[in-house]
């Protein structure tokens, strides 16, 4: 493969890593009021938050790296994406900021109303990106009103089309399930039991949404290669539900991770070889070759990526290993 194609694949891998890792973070945040209830409400909510406490901010590094790689390797793609999706991406940024602040500030006061407000910010800051990323990437695959000057003319109303809305619902449901399975794996006691129940309840909706979205993607934008990836993603999600019913939380979490990764791979596969299709005229499509940086720039980036990316993966793997034990009420009392 030439360097532009290599970097397209690399960016797809970075986004896949982000959705797999941050996806369960979003799911955990959305499930906070569902799993933290009853007489021991505050203790259970602390268990839920502590389950992702050591890793959530590290998971966001994948987003920074993915967007930075797009800026360096495909500046025209970066410009079109950030300008054409300005309002949805601004909403994501505001939600992520509010979510990060909420994690840090909810424990600064014993006032229940104080904690309730920050808990609402965690739910909002998790649900908004979970839905919006599906909306954005569905629109990227579908295409936007991109003119010959590279300017995106689509407005917010154009982005709220049926296909993109189904994409947003799919990622929202998929991340809820991913987060519930993660909590079933990472916690014990009442939170674990509620997480398993939440996962069983979320699995049918997530599977139905994923099947509908990927079949729609395949019908309009797919290829023989993407149909295989889409089938793997749906099959992995069904396998996760079966594994969870047998108490195999570890394998169930691996299966939901495969489902998230397969969904992302199917979207990037449907997009290839374009990076931003035009609904006005296929001649205006922004392609890998047309959006890429100069070969010298891509060569330098390749050396930098080859040197630093393994270190990031090793460090993050080490952090997950260190904090691998289950979280219980005893750890927060």
Span 293-316, pLDDT tens digits: 989 888 998 988 888 888 888 888
On the question of pLDDT at 155 being above 90, the answer is no
pLDDT surpasses 80 at 68? yes
Confidence (pLDDT) at 333: 60
Mean pLDDT, residues 211-225 taken together? 91
Q: Average pLDDT in the 235-252 region?
A: 90
Instruction: Report whether pLDDT(13) > 90.
Output: yes
pLDDT at 152: 82
In the chain, domain spans: 8-195+275-331
Structure confidence at residue 222 (pLDDT): 83
pLDDT grade for 324, boundaries at 50, 70 and 90: confident
- Burial 101-134, CB ≥16 within 10 A → b, else e: ebbeebeeeeeeeebeebbebbbbbbbbbbbbbb
Q: What is the mean pLDDT of residues 131-155?
A: 89
Sign of CA dihedral 206, 212, 214, 217: negative
**Which pLDDT does position 1 carry in this prediction?**
66
- Closest by Cα among 182, 189, 173 to 331: 189
Look over the chain and give the mean of its residue pLDDT values, rounded to a whole number.
90
| Helices 75-84 and 61-73, packing angle to 10 deg | 120
For the segment 79-131, what is each residue's pLDDT rounded down to a tens digit? 888 888 889 999 999 999 999 999 989 888 888 899 999 999 999 999 999 99
User: Residue 188: CA atoms inside 13 Å, Cβ hemisphere, count?
Assistant: 9
CA pair distance 287, 301, nearest whole angstrom: 19
Spatial neighbors of 57 by CB under 8 A, at least 6 apart, are 100
Structure confidence at residue 171 (pLDDT) = 97
**pLDDT above 90 as % of the chain:** 57
* Whether pLDDT at 31 is above 90: yes
Q: Give the total residue count for the chain.
A: 333
At residue 137, the pLDDT reads 95
E strand or H helix that includes residue 194: helix 190-221
- Residue with the larger pLDDT of the pair 111 and 262: 262
pLDDT score, position 306:
84
Q: How far apart are the first and last CA of the chain?
A: 55
Structure confidence at residue 231 as a pLDDT band (50, 70, 90): very high
| pLDDT score of 177 more than 70 | yes
- Rounded Cα–Cα distance for residues 24 and 12 (Å): 19
Mean pLDDT of the region 151-173: 91
- Between CA 237 and CA 211 the distance in angstroms is 10
What angle do helix axes 3-35 and 295-322 make, rounded to 10 degrees? 30
CA 48 to CA 41: how far, in whole Å?
A: 11
* pLDDT higher at 58 or 75: 75
Which one has a higher pLDDT value, 326 or 171?
171
Q: Which helix (H) or strand (E) holds 303?
A: helix 295-322
- CB contact at 8 A, 185 and 250: yes
Chain CA centroid to CA 173, Å: 11
Q: Residue 146's beta-bridge partner residues?
A: 152
- The token pair that represents 128 in the structure block: 């908004």
Strand, helix or coil for residue 327: strand
pTM of the entire predicted model: 0.93
């Amino acid at each position: 493969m030439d360097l532009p194609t290599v970097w397209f694949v690399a960016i797809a891998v970075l986004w896949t890593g982000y959705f797999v890792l941050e996806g369960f973070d979003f799911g955990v945040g959305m499930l906070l009021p569902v799993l933290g209830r009853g007489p021991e409400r505050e203790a259970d909510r602390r268990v839920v938050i502590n389950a992702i406490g050591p890793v959530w901010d590290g998971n966001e590094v994948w987003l920074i790296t993915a967007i930075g790689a797009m800026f360096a390797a495909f500046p025209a793609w970066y410009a079109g994406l950030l300008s054409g999706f300005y309002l949805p991406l601004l909403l994501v940024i505001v939600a992520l900021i509010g979510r990060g602040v909420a994690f840090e500030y909810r424990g600064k006061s014993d006032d229940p109303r104080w904690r309730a407000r920050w808990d609402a910010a965690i739910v909002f800051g998790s649900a908004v990106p979970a839905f919006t990323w599906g909306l954005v990437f569905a629109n990227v695959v579908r295409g936007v009103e991109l003119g010959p000057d590279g300017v995106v003319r689509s407005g917010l109303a154009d982005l709220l089309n049926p296909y993109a809305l189904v994409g947003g619902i799919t990622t929202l449901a998929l991340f809820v399930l991913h987060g519930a399975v993660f909590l079933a794996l990472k916690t014990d006691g009442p939170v674990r039991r509620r997480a398993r129940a939440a996962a069983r309840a979320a699995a049918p909706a997530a599977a139905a949404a994923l099947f509908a979205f990927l079949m729609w993607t395949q019908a309009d934008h797919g290829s023989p290669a993407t149909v295989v990836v889409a089938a793997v993603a749906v099959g992995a999600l069904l396998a996760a539900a079966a594994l969870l019913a047998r108490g195999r939380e570890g394998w169930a979490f691996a299966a939901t991770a495969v489902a998230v990764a397969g969904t992302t791979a199917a979207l990037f596969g449907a997009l290839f070889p374009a990076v931003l299709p035009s609904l006005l005229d296929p001649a205006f499509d922004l392609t890998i070759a047309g959006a890429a940086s100069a070969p010298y720039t891509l060569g330098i980036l390749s050396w930098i990526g080859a040197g630093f990316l393994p270190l990031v993966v090793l460090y993050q793997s080490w952090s997950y290993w260190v904090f691998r034990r289950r979280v219980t009420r005893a750890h927060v009392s």
